[in-house]
């Protein structure tokens, strides 16, 4: 099998696993590339085909429906994935049209037989006859509302379009919506972190603009650098770095402080907390309900010479067992993940509006439990990789109402601006809170929300 053909097979098999088994592309694809023995160029092609198709899936489904005169939901799932892969190559890559069509036909044939192959051939040849611009115009014209037009053109479900618009409007910047959606569809650059006090960025690295720990390299596989540093240099989004530092640097650390990372998996922020705790003479504990993710936490902190006990409990239970115990707690709460759609593009097609109420209830319970586990004067950082106002401002406001004068807010915007090495441009929120909201299109980070609360 040629390299390009093997790349397409890897991409197709990954798409099938994502849609059939709820697999995560970022976990599955590297293993599939390794099994297939792809060289660097073919691995890059497989990665582009997989992530490009997932990011633009909504747009490609609209194109397929127009070209096939059939609803995407009525097409066999394996055939639909072959079509999506073919449409991506025809409309968004420089792959030759005949190769895109023929290879997609063969994938459909191997998955669903000759009849499926003929159908895919007819649809993709129809798509190949017109330009990408023509198809984008037709997709936009098929929309029934402005939100649907934006969603179809920029490949986001309508409910996410509306949620992101509201979050931007809370900063007076609703006009940045399309820039944000386009950033969600762009491949993120790899960002590294050098754990403070334990590692330094390489001399030829370029420092990131905001986090004092962050840097980027000219390219190449970062895993070699991670292994060579024994995990003291790691791949980590700059927004995640800032979220951890906002907690550790909100106020000066007193020796002997006790810290807790309540929802620690997979451990990136835990590693930053551990390095900071080591540097300042603090003690750190971690908790993660999932045994598999708890294992990842232990791996993440293995390079930090600090004893960190990792428990495996429901965060609410863990916090309730230690009332008024901790000086600082990180609540990196489970969320919709709408802030990380660049990295996990399949999430936008899996989440639905009905997921939000259950998540916000869990988030409120975790934050409430964390406040109960704080000593008077202690600080909790409430962090979500989602800008959805129900998961961010709504949760914090509800918990603060319940606690009344027992809790006060520290301006996370001011703390992040103080920690950052350049002005992060964090406008005030319309609710008057001190919440700091990072954005892919503005900061080149995940859309991380950071709030800081102190128990009075």
State yes or no: is 335 an active-site residue.
Answer: no
Is residue 71 exposed (0-12), middle (13-18) or buried (19+ Cβ within 10 Å)?
Answer: exposed
Give the active site residue among 152, 385, 419, 447. 385
- DSSP for 190-208 reads P-EEE-TTT----TT-EE-
CA 409, 424, 383, 263 torsion-angle sign: negative
Spatial distance between the Cα atoms of 349 and 160, rounded to a whole number of angstroms: 10
Which candidate, 151, 63, 139, 156, places its Cα nearest to that of 342?
156
CB 157 within 8 A of CB 181: no
> What count of other Cβ atoms lies within 10 Å of the Cβ of residue 339?
31
- Cα dihedral 120, 121, 123, 128 sign: positive
Cα distances from 142 to residues 135, 153, 212, in angstroms, run 11, 10, 47
- 82 annotated as ligand-binding: no
Q: Hey, what are 112's tokens?
A: 């669903």
Annotated ligand binding at 265? The verdict is yes
Residues facing 331 on adjacent strands: 382
Residues 287, 260: contact at Cβ < 8 Å?
yes
| Strand partners for 409 | 453
Q: Is 244 annotated as a binding residue?
A: no
Q: Return the residue matching tokens 């950082």.
A: 381
332 assigned ligand-binding residue: yes
Distances (CA, A) of 391 to 123, 283, 330, 396, 450: 41, 29, 16, 8, 11
SS3 420: coil
**Is the Cα dihedral 397, 319, 415, 163 positive or negative?**
negative
Residue 394 marked ligand-binding: no
Phi and psi of 426, rounded to 5°? -115, 95
CB 376 within 8 A of CB 324: yes
Helix or strand run (H / E) with residue 453: strand 449-455
8-state DSSP, 409: E
Cα–Cα distance, 449 to 428 (Å, whole number): 13
Q: What are phi and psi of 228, to 5 degrees?
A: -65, -25
Does 375 carry a binding-site annotation? Answer: no
Residue 407 bridge partners (DSSP): 455
Q: Is 264 assigned a ligand-binding role in the annotation?
A: yes
Quote the crossing angle between the two packed helices 97-112 and 3-21, to the nearest 10°: 50
267 annotated as ligand-binding: yes
CA 62 from centroid of its chain's CA atoms: 25
Annotated binding site: 263-269, 288, 314, 332
Annotated binding site for S-adenosyl-L-methionine: 263-269, 288, 314, 332
The catalytic site residues sit at 385
């Amino acid at each position: 099998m040629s390299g390009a053909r093997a790349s397409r097979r890897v991409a197709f098999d990954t798409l099938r696993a994502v849609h059939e088994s709820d697999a995560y592309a970022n976990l599955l694809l590297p293993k599939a590339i390794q099994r297939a023995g792809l060289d660097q160029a073919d691995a890059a092609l497989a990665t582009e085909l997989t992530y490009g198709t997932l990011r633009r899936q909504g747009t490609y489904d609209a194109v397929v429906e127009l070209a096939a005169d059939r609803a995407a939901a009525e097409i066999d799932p394996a055939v639909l994935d072959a079509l999506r892969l073919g449409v991506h190559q025809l409309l968004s890559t420089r792959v030759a049209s005949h190769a895109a069509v023929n290879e997609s036909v063969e994938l459909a044939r191997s998955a669903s037989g000759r009849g499926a192959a003929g159908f895919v051939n007819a649809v993709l040849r129809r798509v190949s006859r017109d330009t990408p611009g023509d198809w984008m115009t037709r997709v936009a014209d098929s929309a029934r509302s402005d939100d649907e037009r934006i969603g179809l053109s920029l490949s986001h479900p309508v409910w996410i379009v509306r949620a992101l618009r509201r979050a931007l409007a809370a900063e007076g910047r609703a006009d940045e919506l399309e820039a944000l959606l386009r950033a969600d569809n762009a491949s993120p650059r790899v960002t590294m972190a050098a754990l403070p006090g334990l590692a330094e960025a390489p001399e030829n690295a370029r420092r990131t603009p905001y986090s004092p720990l962050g840097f980027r390299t000219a390219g190449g596989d970062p895993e070699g650098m991670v292994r060579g540093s024994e995990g003291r240099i790691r791949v980590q989004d700059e927004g995640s770095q800032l979220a951890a530092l906002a907690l550790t640097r909100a106020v000066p650390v007193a020796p002997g402080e006790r810290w807790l990372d309540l929802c620690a998996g997979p451990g990136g922020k835990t590693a930053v907390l551990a390095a900071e705790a080591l540097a300042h003479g603090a003690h750190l504990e971690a908790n993660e309900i999932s045994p598999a993710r708890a294992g990842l936490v232990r791996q993440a902190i293995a390079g930090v010479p600090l004893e960190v006990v990792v428990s495996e409990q429901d965060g609410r239970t863990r916090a309730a067992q230690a009332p008024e115990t901790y000086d600082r707690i990180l609540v990196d709460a489970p969320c919709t993940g709408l802030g990380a759609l660049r990295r996990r593009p399949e999430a936008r097609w899996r989440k639905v509006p009905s997921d939000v109420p259950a998540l916000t209830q869990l988030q409120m319970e975790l934050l409430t439990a964390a406040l109960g586990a704080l000593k008077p004067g202690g600080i909790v950082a409430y962090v979500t990789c989602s800008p959805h106002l129900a998961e961010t401002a709504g949760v914090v406001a509800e918990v603060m109402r319940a606690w009344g004068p027992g809790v006060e807010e520290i301006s996370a915007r001011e703390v992040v601006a103080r920690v950052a090495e350049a002005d992060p441009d964090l406008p005030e929120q319309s609710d008057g809170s001190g919440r700091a909201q990072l954005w892919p299109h503005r900061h080149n980070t995940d859309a991380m929300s950071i709030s800081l609360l102190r128990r009075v």
